[in-house]
């Protein structure tokens, strides 16, 4: 068997995105005041503007979703094809056949503590060799980091926490071209850019020198704008600008018990590989 198809730098990239977005969403909701002239009492008009913006977006919290559980089916063949560039990967590749025996279940929780179950088939008469064990362990780690990382940066957009509740301690500016929110705490700098139609166009984070420029995309629904994609441009601290890393994320949804949850997930780390997941057999955890 060949080496793992999802390199450690891709897993690290997803983890960095998740941490930065989770920290920044929390910062936007509960910013600590900076000792600058900008930390002044907010104008009531900015609070009204934030409320108007928030009302445009789908809110899983308002809908009553607290979590969901789904069986997870990765497209292992596509992952190996995109990672092993220039190599022919057969549908019955022994690595893929082995990985298809794993039962994966995701337990997503909107307030955190999401977990992934990874159950392998036991066959006492045919124990796994070291290479097979390493493959399963490595892909277990990759899938877990990928899905838990996705949930960490998807949830703030779904529960609408990326739109602050209050303008207090935020710098908010309005121009003819855009509306900008800026917050800073310690080593974290957050900037959100909204169009004049109140569409969130950029969610930019600087965390101790690591820069992430996040561009979300939305689709309209009767319950509000629902995030269905992201492009993240990541520049680790100390890295030259031409080395920026790009991650593309696409999300499709299903409606279950009147609640909206993912049905398919596409995550591509450009130049590294692509993970595609299907979620089925789902159950929701309403209030």
Rounded Cα distance between 134 and 137, Å, is: 5
Contact 171, 182 (CB under 8 A): yes
Range of the domain at 243: 8-286
E strands present in 225-258 = 226-235, 245-256
Q: Which residue has the tokens 């969901």?
A: 68
Is 19 part of any domain? yes
pLDDT (0 to 100) of residue 34:
45
Is 119 part of any domain? yes
Give the pair of three-digit tokens for residue 103.
């039962």
Rounded Cα distance between 261 and 135, Å, is: 30
Output the CA–CA distances (angstroms, integers) from residue 21 to 77, 179, 237, 247, 262, in the order listed. Answer: 30, 20, 16, 14, 19
Which phi and psi (to 5°) does residue 241 adopt?
A: -55, -35
Is 3 part of any domain? no
pLDDT (0 to 100) of residue 185:
81
Looking at the chain, list the stretches that DSSP marks H as alpha helix, in order from N- to C-terminal side.
8-29, 44-54, 60-63, 76-83, 94-99, 130-158
Count of domains observed in the chain: 1
Distance, C-alpha 94 to centroid of its chain? 31
Using CA atoms of 184, 29, 285, 229 in order, give the dihedral in degrees to the nearest 10: -50
Is 1 part of any domain? no
pLDDT (0 to 100) of residue 269:
87
Is 2 part of any domain? no
Which residues are registered as beta bridge partners of 69?
A: 107, 283
Is 111 part of any domain? yes
E strands present in 65-209 = 65-74, 103-109, 115-119, 171-174, 179-185, 188-194, 200-207
pLDDT along the chain (287 residues), means of 10: 57 58 58 43 77 95 94 94 82 92 96 93 74 91 90 91 88 94 86 94 89 93 94 89 92 94 94 92 87
């Amino acid at each position: 068997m060949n080496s793992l198809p999802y390199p450690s730098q891709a897993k690290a990239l997803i983890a960095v995105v998740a941490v930065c977005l989770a920290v920044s969403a929390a910062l936007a909701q509960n910013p600590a005041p900076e000792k600058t002239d900008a930390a002044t009492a907010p104008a009531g008009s900015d609070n009204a503007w934030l409320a108007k913006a928030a009302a445009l977006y789908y809110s899983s919290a308002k809908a009553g979703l607290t979590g969901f559980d789904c069986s997870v089916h990765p497209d292992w063949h596509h992952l190996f094809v995109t990672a092993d560039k220039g190599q022919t990967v057969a549908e019955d590749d022994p690595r893929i056949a082995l990985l298809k025996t794993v039962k994966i279940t995701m337990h997503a929780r909107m307030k955190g503590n999401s977990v992934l179950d990874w159950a392998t088939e036991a066959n006492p008469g045919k124990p796994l060799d070291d290479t097979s064990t390493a493959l399963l362990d490595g892909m277990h780690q990759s899938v877990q980091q990928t899905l838990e990382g996705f949930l960490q940066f998807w949830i703030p957009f779904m529960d609408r926490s990326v739109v602050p509740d209050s303008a207090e301690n935020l710098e908010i500016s309005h121009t003819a071209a855009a509306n900008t929110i800026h917050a800073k705490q310690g080593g974290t700098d957050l900037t959100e850019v909204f169009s004049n139609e109140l569409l969130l166009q950029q969610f930019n984070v600087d965390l101790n020198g690591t820069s992430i420029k996040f561009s979300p995309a939305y689709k309209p629904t009767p319950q509000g704008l629902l995030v269905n994609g992201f492009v993240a441009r990541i520049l680790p601290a100390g890295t030259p600008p031409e080395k920026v890393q790009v991650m593309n994320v696409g999300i499709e949804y299903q409606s279950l018990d009147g609640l909206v949850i993912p049905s398919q997930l596409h995550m591509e780390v450009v130049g590294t590989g692509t993970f595609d997941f299907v979620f089925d057999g789902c159950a929701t955890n309403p209030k």
